[in-house]
Amino acid sequence: MTNKALQGVRVLDLSRVLAGPYCTQMLGDLGADIIKVERPNLGDDTRRWGPPFLQSDDHQNTAESAYYLSANRNKQSIAIDMTTKAGQALIHQLLAESDVLVHNFKVDGLAKFGLEYEQLKSRYPKLVYCAISGFGQTGPMRKEPGYDFLAQAMSGLMACTGEPEAEPMKVGVALVDVMTGLNAVAGILAALHARHATGKGQMVDLSLLDCGVASLTNIAQYYLTSGKTAPRQGNAHPSIVPYQTFATADGYIILAVGNDTQFARLAHTLERPEWSTDPNFASNAERVNNRDTLCPLIADILQLHSTDYWLEKLKNNTIPCAPVNKMNDVFESEQVIERQMQVSMAHPLTSKPISLVGSPLKLSDTPVSYDLPPPYCGQHTDSILKATLNLSDEEIAQLRAKGVIQ
């Protein structure tokens, strides 16, 4: 059996939608034991966020949404009604057997269940407690609900995205949620590492807004350094030229010319060698100043031939470029196939394997594994209660009769 990087780590996952589930899926891919706690008969909100849905074999009922499937593999699902005292007692029993708690309830939203960090830290001193929220545990907006779209707007991400004269534009995926999930993984792993030295857990406080602001990197630093806002450039770059999308005769490509040597090669490839010595274009700083002159000249040439023609010509001259792929192009790409970024898993609701996006983590000695498909709500309630809490069939039946579990 292959060693797993996080083998022996148990995560109690109270999160739903995307940021939290994305975090716990990544931890699960790395070998952690993820127990996903869901509301009986409802489960994670995203189970119903469709179409499209995975269809059950009889095609009479929809099973799970594509959205839910994207962030919930390698987890076991237990359905517990946390509004009941008995349900809260089960959560505490599971906490006693866990290393990490992850949730994305609003700030103080778990207080009524006795599950806020301050209510737990003395009882479970080794617990790593990861709280994901819109605005974090401090500040005047701490108790306000948070959403990816809202964080994209407030962080400045939307203001720098979109065409210069058009309205601000959000990114095509819930990118702040995804980045928050990634930051949550980093924070949890750091806290677990610190626990090895101190024997103590701690809170990992993640904010969608914080993660959105941090993601702006050079765009934010542009403002902090100059006091000016970087102009919105659409698919272009505020500080590098040419670094944008161009139309070809049959599609689109991007050029990412990052230095003057690459630009000289581009000029020769486009049969305009004089550009490489033109004082208006020879240096990146001057290309930025004269982008409105240079880029239309490049565009006029590139639209004369096909995408494949230009990709071959540009790559042969070591000029950074790429096609603008649609989803079918992505998953038919030899590179994506070789990197195993599409994986197949059996699913209990259909006889056909389902396809999922693979993990980007490639570890040589402790590779990720795909052991459990995204579970249906409450799929593992009985097995978790038996194996983890040593409850008998009679005790489980009593909890189910009282509506505490599904």
Q: What is the 3-state secondary structure (H, E, C) of the chain?
A: CCCCCCCCCEEEECCCCCHHHHHHHHHHHCCCEEEEEECCCCCCHHHHCCCCEEECCCCCCEEEEHHHHCCCCCCEEEEECCCCHHHHHHHHHHHCCCCEEEECCCCCCCHHHCCCHHHHCCCCCCCEEEEEECCCCCCCCCCCCCCHHHHHHHHCCCCCCCCCCCCCCCCCCCHHHHHHHHHHHHHHHHHHHHHHHHCCCCEEEEEHHHHHHHHCHHHHHHHHHHCCCCCCCCCCCCCCCCEEEEECCCCEEEEECCCHHHHHHHHHHCCCHHHHCCCCCCCHHHHHHCHHHHHHHHHHHHCCCCHHHHHHHHHHCCCCEEECCCHHHHHHCHHHHHCCCEEEEEECCEEEEEEEECCCCCCCCCCCCCCCCCCCCCCCHHHHHHHCCCCCHHHHHHHHHCCCEC
Question: Crossing angle of helices 260-269/307-316, nearest 10°?
Answer: 130
Active-site residue (options: 148, 177, 205, 371): 177
Q: Catalytic annotation on 58?
A: no
Question: Which token pair is 270?
Answer: 């486009």
User: Which residues are catalytic, by number?
Assistant: 177
